[in-house]
Structures are given as structure tokens and as C-alpha cells.
């Protein structure tokens, strides 16, 4: 490497050979050849005087004036001048590439500049800083999508060579893994450097799923080149997604299309890359094209098949086994439903532990909707064990209360007949107070002495009986 100043260095190939000088050898020819380049030869000739002095001796010949370039394959051929007995030496040499630290700092063809960045996800901005760039040239910066070549997104800027702060802000739309920052000096055939800030954001690739309702086609096109497997699956109760048969496709750059698809919220698209997988359900927020609805919320449940489109369905009873989400179908029937129509699903053999399984027949990819009945004509046995004991307890409480009331009334009548007079104060009996406390309080009689069988006393007796 020969340098004329900072960042102004060139590469030269040094070839050294040793030969035994004979009288018929006047010199050495060193030729270099590279693919796509013209063969270059350098002849080194000995003078007559030097030949006489060095005759029969070993002579070292060196040439370091052949210019080469980084990462170049050079074929070297050394022959005598003139050719001596056809003796030729040949070898191949590969020059270092720009990844070599000395070349990356000093050879203009290898100086790309260093890129660093900060991401502002709230504003979708990339703040980019450049260092170690060619000092005598302006510098290009842009965002691009990396493929066979890097295709620009439109975000671009040029930093002037005299600018003290070598930084810029570029905006992006989505943090895709193939979105890269590309920089290069403003010179002919300048090498470029690329940095991809979002190379690990693979989940961003699984967006952009579209549905064509006329063709009933589900489509997805990768925003970046990716080698993945794409298929359809059915989302079940526990959150898993069960693969639909014969739906798996391998993809890299081309568009993926699934035809004759039932647009149901449970139908999803699964993406698999290596040992990881992602699931996207494109119909989750759309109006259902069809569904199983329930009538009779206050009584026995009755199911209806309501469809917004004209379609054919398979309807059957099925039973779920304990500890499993699968429903074993016992018998199926075909049902055709018109547009904006409803069909009652009153299947024979329906019981409390049975379910209805409904699936479209006129498409290639469809999911099954299962509805299990929760209300039946007979009361549940668990509820009866609660209601009957409660009823017996309530009935017993009422009987005991009535008996206590009757005993209290008889007791008061007998006591009044024994005394024969009405006292001015209420007599108190501890036992009576404890039994009569839940009943209505007795009124206090006035301070007056009555004679038995008199009119006043008779009226008080009636009042006592009524109050008792």
C-alpha cells in the first residue's frame, strides 16, 4: 500500500523471483492478468555488463509496480527473456477485501463511512449519524428495502462535506425487517454501507392480509423477501389454532392466495418461520356471514342458523367427551340457507349434553361452529337438592310460629278467668316474655278496677282477647 496522504492510498502487487543466471538469459518478464481486465506485463532486462558479472549465480528479481484493487483475483506468470527451455512459473493471488481494517480506513474504494442511529417509534423517525466518511466528498443517505438490490423508499438526504455535524433525520412508514439505512460517498462507483435497524422485527411481515368477497379469496403478499410456510387454521376455545388440511404453502417473494374461503372469525392464517409461528385472524372485526343464534333465553334453548349469504351447510348433533374440546358427530344433515334467511335447527335426539356442529359445504376452506345446549325442560338435579330442603325448613318455621301463637292465646284467657279482675298494671312472666318477644307488643290497660260480669269488664275482656 502506497499513500500520498490521509485516505489517499493505493494497492500494488509485489512479485519476487529468484533464478540462476545463464548466458542466454537476458531478463525476466512478469505478467498479471485479472478477469475483466487487460493483461499487464513488466520486463526487467539485465545489462551485458551485469550479466557477465553474475553469470552462473542466483539473482533475485523484484517488481512492485503493478497496481491492483481490493478483492481482486490476480494470475501471475513469470518467464525468462528470451524463453529458456520453456521454463515458466505461474500462481494465483487474491488481494484482501475492504473488510481488512487497513484498507477500510485508507483505500478510497473501501471507505464507506460508519453509520449509527437512534429510533423514535412515536414519530417513526431515524436519527442517523455518519463518521469516518471520505472528507473530500459529499455523502448520500437514504432508506431502502433490501432485496437483490436496495429499493429506495423516497426518504433521502445529502450531507455536504463541509458540514460540521454529520447527522440527519429520515422518516419511515413501517419498521420492516428489510428496511435499511444506506450511505455512500458522492464519487464514481463508491462502495455503499447498509444498516438494517429492524432486522429482528419479523412480526411486522404478517400484516396486509386482504379478502376478495366476490372471488372468496384470501390473499397475502410479503412486504420483504422471507422464506416461510403459510397455511390456514381454525381457532378453537383454548386459543390454539388447528391447521386446516391441504392448506400449507411455501413462500419467499410471491403472493399467497387461498381460494374458496369461508370468511368466518374463527378462520385464521398461520405463518411459520423456523421454529417460530405467528397467527393472524383477518375476519375478527367483520360482520359474520353466518352464525348459530339461540332463541328462548328464559326457557329451553332453540338454535337457529342465520345466514347473510346464500350457502349450503352441514348440520349435525355431536357430543363432547370429558377433558376434550373435540365434538364427536353422530349424524349430519345438509341444509341450504338463502340470503338473509334463518333456519331452525330442531334436530331429533337433542339432549342436555349434546351440541350442534355447523360447517359450510360450498367452500374449500371452512371452520366448524359448535354450540352446546345449556337449558333443558327438566330442572337440574343439583338445583332440586337445594330447593326441597329450603322449602321444608320454611314450612316447619311457619308451623312452629302458629303453634306458639295459639298456646299464648289460650294461656292469657285462662289467666284472666282465674283472676276475675283486670289489674292496672301489666303482669310480667319471664317465660312469657321470652316466648312473646317475637309477637306484637301487648297494649297497656288503664288504671281501673272492674267487677266481673259488669259491662265495663266485659269490654276489657274482649279487648284482651283481641290483643292476644
- Residues 299-342: pLDDT tens digits? 566 788 888 889 999 988 887 776 666 777 777 888 899 988 88
Once rounded to an integer, what is the mean pLDDT over residues 135-157? 94
pTM of the model: 0.65
Q: Do residues 139 and 146 make contact, with C-beta atoms less than 8 angstroms apart?
A: no
Same fold, 2-103 and 290-363: yes
User: For residues 67 and 345, which has the higher predicted lDDT (pLDDT)?
Assistant: 67
| The pLDDT value given to residue 385 | 59
What tens digit of pLDDT does each residue of 222-251 get? 999 999 999 999 998 777 899 999 999 998
CA distances, 67 to each of 15, 34, 70, 326 (Å) = 12, 12, 10, 75
pLDDT(125) > 90: yes
The phi, psi pair for 282, rounded to 5°, reads: -75, -15
| The pLDDT value given to residue 32 | 92
What tens digit of pLDDT does each residue of 40-90 get? 888 988 888 888 888 888 889 988 888 999 999 999 999 988 887 778 889
CA pair distance 421, 453, nearest whole angstrom = 10
| The pLDDT value given to residue 231 | 96
CA pair distance 309, 282, nearest whole angstrom = 19
CA pair distance 106, 96, nearest whole angstrom = 13
| The pLDDT value given to residue 353 | 65
| The pLDDT value given to residue 298 | 52
Helices 381-419 & 455-467, crossing angle to 10 degrees?
160
| The pLDDT value given to residue 258 | 96
Closest CA to 16 of 76, 73, 72: 76
User: For residues 399 and 325, which has the higher predicted lDDT (pLDDT)?
Assistant: 399
Strands 217-220 and 256-258: antiparallel
pLDDT bin (cut points 50, 70, 90) of residue 352 is low
Give 182: exposed, middle or buried? Use CB within 10 Å, 0-12, 13-18, 19+.
buried
CA pair distance 367, 263, nearest whole angstrom = 9
Task: Report the CATH fold assignment for 202-280.
Answer: Immunoglobulin-like (2.60.40)
pLDDT(390) > 50: yes
* Dihedral-angle region of residue 56 (phi above 0 means left; psi in -120 to 50 means alpha; beta otherwise): left
**Residue percentage of the chain with pLDDT more than 90:** 40
User: For residues 379 and 248, which has the higher predicted lDDT (pLDDT)?
Assistant: 248
- Region of poorest pLDDT, from 92-106, 238-252, 349-363: 349-363
pLDDT bin (cut points 50, 70, 90) of residue 466 is very low
Q: Give the CATH H-level superfamily of domain 2-103.
A: Interleukin-17 receptor A/B, fibronectin-III-like domain 1 (2.60.40.2160)
Domain boundaries, the chain: 2-103, 111-195, 202-280, 290-363, 392-467
Q: Which of 322-336, 350-364, 427-441 has the highest mean pLDDT?
A: 350-364
Q: Cis check for the bond before 39: say yes or no (omega within 30 of 0).
A: no
| The pLDDT value given to residue 101 | 87
Q: What is the 3-state secondary structure (H, E, C) of the chain?
A: CEECCCCCEEEEEEEEEEEECCCCCCEEEEEEECCCCCCEEEEEECCHHHHHHHCCCEEEEEEEEEEECCCCEEEEEEEEECCCCCCEEEEEEECCCCCCHHHHHHCHHHCCCEEEEEEECCCCEEEEEEECCCCCCCEEEEEEEECCCEEEEEEEEEECCCCCCCEEEEECCCCCCCEEEEEEECCCCCCEEEECCCCCCHHHHHCCCEEECCCCEEEECCCCCCCEEEEEEEECCCCCEEECCCCCEEECCCCEEECCECCCCCEEEEEEECCEEEEECCCCCCCCCEEEEEECCCCCCEEEEEECCCEEEEEEEEEECCCCCCEEEEEEEEEEECCCEEEECCCCCCCCCCEEEEEECCCCECCEEEEECCCCCCCCHHHHHHHHHHHHHHHHHHHHHHHHHHHHHHHHHHHHHHHCCCCCCCCCCHHHHHHHCCCCCCCCCCCCCCCCCCHHHHHHHHHHHHHC
| The pLDDT value given to residue 457 | 42
Average pLDDT, whole number, for the chain? 81
Q: For residue 202, list its beta bridge partners.
A: none
290-363: CATH class: mainly beta
- Region of poorest pLDDT, from 104-108, 119-123, 183-187, 383-387: 383-387
pLDDT bin (cut points 50, 70, 90) of residue 404 is confident
| The pLDDT value given to residue 297 | 56
Q: Which three cell numbers stand for residue 366?
A: 371452512
User: For residues 400 and 31, which has the higher predicted lDDT (pLDDT)?
Assistant: 31
Select 111-195's CATH number: 3.40.720.10, 3.90.550.10, 3.40.50.720, 2.60.40.10: 2.60.40.10
pLDDT(405) > 80: no
Amino acid at each position: 500500500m502506497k499513500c500520498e496522504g490521509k485516505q489517499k492510498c493505493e494497492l500494488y502487487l509485489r512479485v519476487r523471483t529468484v533464478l540462476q543466471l545463464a548466458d542466454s538469459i537476458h531478463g525476466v518478464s512478469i505478467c498479471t492478468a485479472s478477469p475483466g481486465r487487460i493483461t499487464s506485463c513488466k520486463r526487467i532486462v539485465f545489462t551485458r555488463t551485469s550479466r557477465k558479472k553474475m553469470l552462473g549465480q542466483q539473482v533475485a528479481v523484484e517488481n512492485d509496480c503493478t497496481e491492483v484493487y481490493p478483492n481482486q483475483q490476480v494470475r501471475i506468470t513469470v518467464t525468462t527473456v528470451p524463453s529458456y527451455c520453456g521454463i515458466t512459473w505461474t500462481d494465483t493471488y487474491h488481494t484482501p477485501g475492504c473488510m481488512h481494517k487497513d484498507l477500510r480506513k485508507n483505500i478510497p474504494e473501501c471507505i464507506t463511512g460508519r453509520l449509527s442511529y437512534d429510533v423514535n417509534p412515536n414519530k417513526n423517525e431515524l436519527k442517523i449519524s455518519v463518521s469516518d466518511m471520505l472528507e473530500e466528498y459529499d455523502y448520500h443517505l437514504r432508506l431502502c428495502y433490501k432485496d437483490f438490490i436496495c429499493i429506495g423508499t423516497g426518504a433521502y438526504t445529502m450531507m455536504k462535506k463541509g458540514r460540521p455535524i454529520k447527522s440527519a433525520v429520515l422518516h419511515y412508514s413501517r419498521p420492516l425487517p428489510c428496511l435499511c439505512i444506506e450511505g455512500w460517498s458522492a464519487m464514481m462507483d463508491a462502495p455503499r454501507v447498509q444498516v438494517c435497524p429492524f432486522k429482528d422485527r419479523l412480526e411486522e411481515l404478517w400484516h396486509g392480509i386482504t379478502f376478495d368477497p366476490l372471488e372468496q379469496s384470501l390473499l397475502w403478499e410479503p412486504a420483504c423477501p422471507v422464506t416461510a410456510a403459510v397455511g390456514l387454521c381454525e381457532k378453537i376455545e383454548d386459543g390454539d389454532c388447528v391447521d386446516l388440511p391441504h392448506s400449507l404453502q411455501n413462500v419467499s417473494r410471491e403472493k399467497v392466495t387461498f381460494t374458496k374461503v369461508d370468511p368466518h372469525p374463527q378462520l385464521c392464517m398461520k405463518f411459520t418461520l423456523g421454529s417460530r409461528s405467528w397467527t393472524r385472524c383477518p375476519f375478527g372485526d367483520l360482520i359474520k356471514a353466518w352464525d348459530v343464534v339461540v332463541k328462548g333465553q328464559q326457557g329451553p334453548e332453540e338454535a337457529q342458523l342465520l345466514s347473510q349469504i346464500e350457502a349450503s351447510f352441514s348440520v349435525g348433533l355431536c357430543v363432547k367427551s370429558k377433558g376434550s374440546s373435540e365434538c364427536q358427530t353422530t349424524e349430519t344433515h345438509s341444509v341450504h340457507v338463502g340470503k338473509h334467511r334463518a333456519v331452525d335447527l330442531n334436530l331429533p335426539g337433542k339432549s342436555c349434553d349434546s351440541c350442534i356442529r355447523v360447517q359450510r359445504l360450498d367452500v374449500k376452506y371452512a371452520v366448524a361452529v359448535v354450540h352446546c345446549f345449556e337449558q333443558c325442560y327438566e330442572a337440574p338435579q343439583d338445583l332440586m337438592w337445594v330447593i326441597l330442603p329450603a322449602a321444608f325448613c320454611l314450612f316447619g318455621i311457619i308451623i312452629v310460629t302458629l303453634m306458639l301463637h295459639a298456646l299464648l292465646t289460650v294461656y292469657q284467657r285462662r289467666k284472666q278467668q282465674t283472676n276475675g279482675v283486670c289489674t292496672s298494671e301489666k303482669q310480667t312472666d319471664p317465660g312469657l316474655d321470652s316466648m312473646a318477644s317475637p309477637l306484637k307488643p301487648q297494649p297497656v290497660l288503664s288504671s281501673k278496677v272492674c267487677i266481673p260480669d259488669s259491662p265495663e269488664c266485659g269490654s276489657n275482656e274482649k279487648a284482651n282477647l283481641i290483643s292476644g
